[in-house]
Chain A
């Protein structure tokens, strides 16, 4: 196979995976697809063999600019077969991974009162069973599964611990018993293909007994794969499970906890129940320092230990809001099926034990190569700890050894914390910054240095090559050693996708360069798809993982876009070059000083006009012979620097702008500038750190040399941290509208045209264009125009589908114990009501940034017509500054009670900066002036399709400086009541003084998050609480005629502090009482149901909760690992 065919094969394999993601077939298709793949593979091999016999391989590789090749049917057939085989291979591989074929145990057919049981294959191990409908169910089917269970229970030693034999096998006693399931009901109306899990263990299934006598029905009985996720439960109070397994990855040791990756061999699902053998997935287990024996587990040496543990195995939560981070999917991609938090019982007994095999004195070790790598890493950490002070040491650990979790809570170099530290900082910055270094790096676009990837691996490759060259070792001798070092490095740093990609690519480069004499570019173009193929073959789900996509996007951008941009820029010489530099300077100024202006059309019109003017002026001056810099231009800059600038440009266009917006809804503007300094600097920091780490391992003088090297590196690493700090402050880290897949497709189509326009033009278009007649040319141009018009039209249609005219869309977001409601009105008016809480302690969580802004970007809303803050409480207004910083907001509306808060803290600063008195904002139309609302006002009145829309203010009354806002959103016959933080007295007031017609609402947001009255409680639940809820809150909801009530609830502890237990009790009571009072109403809470979405056309409405279709209950913060 030639290089081009190999590249084509790998890319088509990836496209096959993408097709399987978009259009997956059922699990029954897996086996035929594998057969098809095999057949196509054999045909392809035959065709390639024939081609090779007829034509030499060299003839296959042609210049991009050569005239079109002669048509060769055999060659084309071989290509076609190869690409089809690759496509099918990718498709089948993904399908096989996502749908592990359940084992068919037998089929049941009900016919005219009789039942036929047809066994298929015996169960391979003890498991649960699944019932799948093979045809739509016309009447209820009730049945019972009957079989046997071989119940395994571990043999225990004198200490009560499970026994592991010398070969690492768990010892069990087996009890055989008959087993019959509880009756299983499949209701009438169940469609074909529906599955029901029977969570009772079986080892053999003998028959199926009907409980009723249905006239018809066809079912399959399946044994699911025993994955960890099968045994993970959802919910708050889950039953503990026991695990017998092994620690199969390096523990993540924090100062306050340790996270272990455990591969279970057996799981006991029910206390005292049988143990199930586990076939796939791992569990992520968190232990705290109060666990007996913690020190033994919180170290790299714990890798490989056999363990027995008991705890609550929880299913990873799905996203609580549409488009938010989906932790379940993320963990599934990393083969993690459940999470467990080990809690130490009050009696002090340990739920976690390390098991020593029989006849041994110590626990088993893990893989020797991994053990060696971890030992090496710990030794290097020891060197860093002795030679580099905080916070630089945390940065160096993350940069050199991939220890990102070690700097999770490390605050900025500019923080006062460091000035009072043990080692005085190199500069006294005197800033009271509580930003984390990781956040600063993200905002300044240099976060990629913390994800060990191509940059690191390349630097290390060059460093080793330099060392061996210095020692006069032949490249044919040292190449294997460098590859071995890269493999060790990959293991040390956690073997993440970006690292693996880089190690595979660099190894391919070393091999082709060392033994075949190939160049870097050719090696990169081959290495990228081959590395992707190897990674995706092992785990196809990685194809959509940000760390994979961004890593490959970056390297492809470097390989494909650098040269085209270099060619483009080098055309700018003399006065044109000055004009270009001035244009870049103006854009930089705009980026840094006024992001809200940059996103307006008026700015880009001005910018285009400026461009025309400057380049016109440049030409005029040229014609008059005025050339201040002669013909100096981009081409005269040092090739290394010019190439680097072109590469940075390529990286922004090819990867950062589209993919960062797609995955994170943000674009680090600063990255384009900061990386010009950061990337060369990181080369120095990384090499010095790596050399110090390695030399420091030499006994005797090694540590002294390491101290000298890291002393110098202290200056360089401080400089790097300062780049992160200052660029994050100078530039915005703006949110951007999330591009749709269609938009991305068009964008990358345009990028591909930019990259390959020469071969397309010279080989494909021009020869045909020259031969074509005039009408054919006209037709071709019309076809191109039609395609462009169709793309624009479909884009417009897609935009309209997201925000439909004439439709009211309300999203009540799940933002913990707080409020955030987005109203997308039928006429396109966008209103945000409240901005959620901001947690600033160690659990840092800003829901305005993390949930509300992404949701706004997902809805493709570019500016808000109004931000309404309903209450002065922090769970309603704390995120307001974040929203105002990132979005152009026309009006800021609030109750009189909130006025004093507008003059406090960050919000006051933002409002001062956006004051109409500032010329900059007045001119750009981004100034904002708050306005207090009073009862009786009607806002944003409009009429769409003959139905009136308005936001009515129900309270507070004019002159009331205490009450929060209460609002009613009306569209035609539909209404939504938002009661904000009304106390019982204020609710009573609203109830007494508002006519029923003005309160009427099909959906109501419960007052005070379901904890009204909490403000007056110091300890315990008041005696009259239930009565107040019943009479007042219940009365209000009844008077409104609510058909659905939504509680905006979540973990109250960060907001209400010590009163959190009371808050939970109040909420529980309120929810229960409302459910009893409004028996026909649907009662939801944003913690258990996720975000609630309401859509109305003014006559009817639909209400859906996020967890109606997803599973999960906790929306825990998780950081993604992203690298180049």
Chain B
């Protein structure tokens, strides 16, 4: 178990370092980081890419994303 907890620690530290590298090099992650710093998470490209993913889960203190009414075709598919 001692060995397992050490492995977990190593994974965690390595992931943090790798993550820092990705945030530094990838423009989308960089913008997401600065959006968080500015306190405007809705402006993050990562958040924007997830607009249709669980639209009911919104950012704190903001309304859920508007859901477009289903087209007749969509309504049929839903059946």
Contact = CB atoms under 8 A, between A and B. Distances in A.
Interface of A: 253, 255-257, 286, 288-290, 294-295, 298-300, 341, 378, 381-382, 384-390, 393-394, 397, 403, 406, 421-424, 462-463, 465-467, 469-470, 475, 684, 687-688, 691, 703-705, 707-715, 841-843, 1053, 1116
Contacts of B44: 386
A394 B75 CA distance: 23
Given A422-B48, A469-B2, A843-B77, A290 B54 contact: no
The 10 closest A-B pairs by CB, nearest first: A708-B19, A712-B18, A711-B22, A711-B19, A466-B8, A299-B56, A422-B49, A423-B28, A712-B19, A469-B5
B32 to A, nearest CB: 7
Contacts of A378: 57
Contacts of A299: 56-57, 64
Given A386-B32, A469-B1, A687-B11, A406 B74 contact: no
Given A393-B50, A707-B33, A465 B74 contact: no
A879 to B, nearest CB: 20
A711 B21 CA distance: 9
A641 to B, nearest CB: 16
A470 B36 contact: no
A422 B57 contact: no
Nearest to A287: B78
Contacts of B50: 384-385, 388-390, 393
Contacts of A711: 18-20, 22-23, 26, 29
Interface of B: 1-2, 4-5, 7-9, 11-12, 14-16, 18-20, 22-23, 26-29, 32-33, 36, 41, 44-50, 52-57, 59-60, 64, 67-70, 73-79
A36 B79 CA distance: 47
Given A387-B32, A406-B53, A705 B16 contact: yes
Given A289-B69, A423-B49, A470-B9, A712 B77 contact: no
A299 B53 CA distance: 13
A889 to B, nearest CB: 33
A457 to B, nearest CB: 16
A709 B2 contact: no
Given A298-B56, A388-B46, A712-B22, A470 B79 contact: no
A714 B29 CA distance: 10
Contacts of A421: 49
Contact of A385 (B19, B23, B53, B73): B53
Contacts of B22: 711-712, 714-715
Contacts of A386: 32, 36, 41, 44, 46-47, 59
30 contacts: A256-B70, A256-B77, A286-B78, A286-B79, A289-B68, A299-B57, A300-B56, A382-B60, A385-B46, A386-B32, A386-B46, A389-B45, A389-B50, A390-B49, A393-B49, A403-B54, A422-B46, A423-B49, A463-B8, A465-B1, A466-B1, A467-B8, A469-B4, A688-B11, A708-B15, A709-B19, A712-B14, A712-B15, A713-B15, A714-B26
Nearest to B68: A289
Contacts of B2: 469
B53 A390 contact: yes
A389 B73 CA distance: 28
Contacts of B1: 465-466, 469, 475
B23 A406 contact: no
A434 to B, nearest CB: 16
Nearest to A1116: B79
Contacts of A713: 15, 19
A289 B53 contact: no
Contacts of A467: 5, 8
Nearest to B29: A711
A221 B41 CA distance: 66
Nearest to B72: A1053
Q: Main SS of chain A's interface residues?
A: helix
A384 to B, nearest CB: 8
B30 to A, nearest CB: 10
A424 B30 CA distance: 13
B67 A389 contact: no
Contact of B7 (A403, A424, A466, A708): A466
Q: Max chain A CB contacts within 10 Å: which of B20, B57, B73, B75?
A: B57
Contacts of B77: 256, 841-843
A423 B48 CA distance: 9
A712 to B, nearest CB: 4
Given A394-B53, A688-B11, A707 B78 contact: no
B66 to A, nearest CB: 9
A397 to B, nearest CB: 7
Contacts of B54: 253, 381, 385, 397, 403, 406
Given A465-B4, A466-B7, A289 B70 contact: yes
A720 to B, nearest CB: 15
Contacts of B56: 253, 295, 298-300
A703 B36 contact: yes
Nearest to A343: B75
A353 to B, nearest CB: 19
Contacts of A470: 5, 8-9
Contacts of A390: 49-50, 53
A289 B55 CA distance: 12
Contacts of A424: 27-28
Contacts of B28: 389, 422-424
Contacts of B29: 707, 711, 714
**Could you say which of B12, B32, B50 has the most chain A C-beta atoms within 10 Å of its C-beta?**
B50
B45 A423 contact: yes
